[in-house]
């Protein structure tokens, strides 16, 4: 039986970033079981579409990401929802941050 998920890898990467805006690409890849190159490509896609803004801090050697939660879903079904509304369902932002998000 083949493995599959209800969420695309793009959505799963957004969930990882929502859990930890400073997450490293290697940690995204390890969490999702994809290559680091795939994680990089997905983050690049999300940034090009405007859903994620990358910010490299001068005092740090890693990127921080900011999700543009107000943006509409790319392919809205029914009423036009936003990325933030979907993440509110998928991510508990009130609890303690896990060491690594399981998506």
What is the tens place of the pLDDT at every residue in 16-52? Answer: 999 999 999 999 999 999 999 999 999 999 999 999 9
pTM: 0.75
Q: What DSSP string describes 26-49?
A: HHHHHHHT--HHHHHHHHHHHHHT
How far CA 58 is from CA of 26, 44, 55, 62, in Å, comes to: 20, 20, 9, 9
For the chain, domains (ranges, CATH) are 9-67 (1.10.10.10)
CA geometry: angle 72, 57, 36, nearest 5 deg? 65
What does the pLDDT read at residue 94?
61
Does the pLDDT at position 4 exceed 90? no
Cα(100)–Cα(53) distance, integer angstroms: 21
């Amino acid at each position: 039986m083949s493995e599959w998920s209800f969420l695309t890898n793009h959505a799963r990467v957004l969930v990882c970033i929502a859990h930890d805006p400073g997450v490293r690409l290697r940690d995204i890849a390890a969490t999702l079981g994809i290559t680091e190159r795939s994680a990089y490509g997905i983050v690049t896609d999300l940034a090009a579409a405007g859903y994620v803004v990358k910010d490299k801090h001068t005092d740090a050697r890693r990127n921080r990401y900011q999700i543009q939660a107000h943006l509409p879903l790319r392919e809205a079904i029914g009423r036009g929802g936003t990325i933030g509304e979907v993440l509110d369902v998928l991510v508990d932002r009130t609890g303690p941050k896990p060491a690594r998000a399981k998506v």
